[in-house]
Amino acid sequence: MRRVEDLGPGGKAVLLRADLNVPLDGARITDDGRIRASLPTIGKLTARGARVIVCAHLGRPKGEDYAQRAAGGPSLRPVAARLGELLGQPVAFADDVAGSSAAAVAAGLADGEVALLENVRFEPAETSKDDGQRAELARRLAALAELYVGDGFGAMHRKHASVYDVPRLLPHAAGDLVAAEISVLRQLTTEPPRPYVVVLGGAKPSDKLAVIGNLLTRADRLLIGGGMAYTFLAAQGHQVGGSLLEADQIPQVSAVLAEAARAGVEVVLPSDHIVAGRLAADAPAETVAEVDIPAGKLGLDIGPATRAEFARKLTDARTVFWNGPPGVFEYPAFADGTRAVAEAITKVEGLTVVGGGDSAAAVRLLGIPESAFTHISTGGGASLEYLEGRELPGLTALADGR
């Protein structure tokens, strides 16, 4: 795969697909981690005198056509402002994705300057399953530039126009973020130092069963917390009260447990819980000191005994992959499990990788220094699909020589 340095971007217009999909509270950016992660490649391009036209998506715009989506938002405009602050130079903003505003803004850039296009998902063709529709948008985007750099790791698992189709139309290279992500994830799939411990949490097992299946052939130990743990506990015949449960996934989860036993992979599930009567910031938290949860109560975090057990199971690890918070960390009363897991991982001597948008946001929200981990991936779905062994369309497109 070609890199930015190989492209000779000086004096050229470069379309950079970045991942700027930050969490928003109204127009306020609550975590700018993904913007920061995009800076090295943008800086490398501007330092070489490229005219950088950044293309990115934000959230999930709804509506039949461009006009409806643009009216409903979210707009990338606040992201342009934050990107400018972090870069220390103004970022011009195009009011459309690949229309007259984009063309004017791109034409107005001088060497070393940066522009951001409006939310690419305002264009329904961006995510279309129809190759022709995507190709038409890709042609309009490609017309804005002479070169393409793919650096939006978080979107690399999507066969989208700006990710998959544009690199077929322009000489292209992989950005530094993508290169860094791949080099770390590759270490997890090729002879990771052992013991290799995987910590999984988050909302639903159905999101992650495929990666669990793949990890069973690689990891030595699986620590499972968070919302997904209750389907595992239910599969073992435990009472889970009103906790998050995907009853239809019980057969698959049972199969995973059986496969783990066969493969000699240790699976550690919660043995106690922090529960509440409802999922709310002000719901009074109680500890349930056993595996079974009473009716009417929701398990919202792992309990103290589970925290200690998870930490113990991490002490001798030489490789750790953590995806999915073990509790509802967004509310302080249910954040202790996530904090305990994060802190235990920071003490591990070895390769420690955090994957998953919410897990990465939790690390930052809890004030744990990012430098305490080997790598915090910007791509939740993308990193999981890579670890599943699936081909990422965005990477495939970048790898094609041209």
Residues noted as catalytic: 34, 204, 357, 381
CB 117 within 8 Å of CB 128:
no
Q: Are 192 and 319 in contact (CB under 8 A)?
A: yes
Q: Among residue numbers 307 through 326, which ones bind ligand ADP (CB under 6 A)?
A: 323-325
DSSP states along 70-98? HHH---SHHHHHHHHHHHTS-EEE-SSSS
Pair 73, 36: CB distance under 8 Å: no
Q: Is the CB of 172 or the CB of 273 nearer to ligand ADP?
A: 273
356 counts as binding ligand ADP under rule CB under 6 A: yes
Of 241 and 380, which CB lies nearer to Mg ion in the complex structure?
380
Out of ligand ADP, Mg ion, none, which partner does residue 175 contact, by CB within 5 to 8 A per kind?
A: none
User: Is the distance from CB of 111 to CB of 75 less than 8 angstroms?
Assistant: no
Applying CB under 6 A, among 61, 175, 192, 202 the residue interacting with ligand ADP is 202
Distance CA 30, CA 267 (A): 34
Q: Which does 74 bind (CB under 5 to 8 A by kind): Mg ion, ligand ADP, none?
A: none
Give the residue with the Cβ less far from ligand ADP, 35 or 328.
Answer: 328
Residue 60 C-beta: closest distance to Mg ion, Å: 13
Cα separation, 205 vs 209, in Å, equals 6
Taking the least distance from each CB to ligand ADP, the nearer of 152 and 299 is 299
Instruction: Report the distance separating Cα 350 and Cα 57, nearest Å.
Output: 34
Contact partner, 330, from ligand ADP, Mg ion, none, Cβ < 5-8 Å per class: ligand ADP
The token pair that represents 39 in the structure block: 């800076």
Distance between CA atoms of 381 and 163, rounded to whole angstroms?
15
Answer yes or no whether residue 357 interacts with Mg ion by CB under 5 A. yes
Is the CB of 98 or the CB of 228 nearer to ligand ADP?
A: 228
β-strand 298-302 against 273-276: which pairing, if any?
antiparallel
# chain residues binding ligand ADP, by CB under 6 A:
20
Among 21, 127, 359, 378, binds ligand ADP (CB under 6 A): 359
Residues in contact with Mg ion by CB under 5 A are 357-358
Residues in contact with ligand ADP by CB under 6 A are 201-203, 207, 226-227, 244, 299-300, 323-325, 327-328, 330, 356-359, 380
